[in-house]
Amino acid sequence: MAKRQTERYPVQGANSLWQVYKTVSFWKVVKCFAVVQLARYTPWMLLKNWMYRTFLGMEIGENTAVALMVMMDTMFPERISIGSNSIIGYNTTILAHEYLIDEYRLGDVKIGSRVMIGANSTILPGVTIGDGAVVSAATLVNADVPAGAFVGGNPMRIIRQPETQPK
* pLDDT (mean) for 144-149: 97
Total domains in the fold of the chain: 1
Look over the chain and give the mean of its residue pLDDT values, rounded to a whole number: 96
Give the pLDDT confidence of 35-77 residue by residue, as tens digits: 999 999 999 999 999 999 999 999 999 999 999 999 999 999 9
- Domain-located, residue 101: yes
Q: Is 43 exposed, middle or buried (0-12, 13-18, 19+ CB in 10 A)?
A: exposed
In a domain, 133, yes or no: yes
Residue 22 is part of a domain; what is its CATH number?
Answer: 2.160.10.10
167 in a domain, yes or no? Answer: no
What is the predicted pLDDT for the residue at 162? 83
Q: Is the pLDDT of residue 143 over 80?
A: yes
Confidence (pTM):
0.95
- The whole domain housing 43 covers 7-160
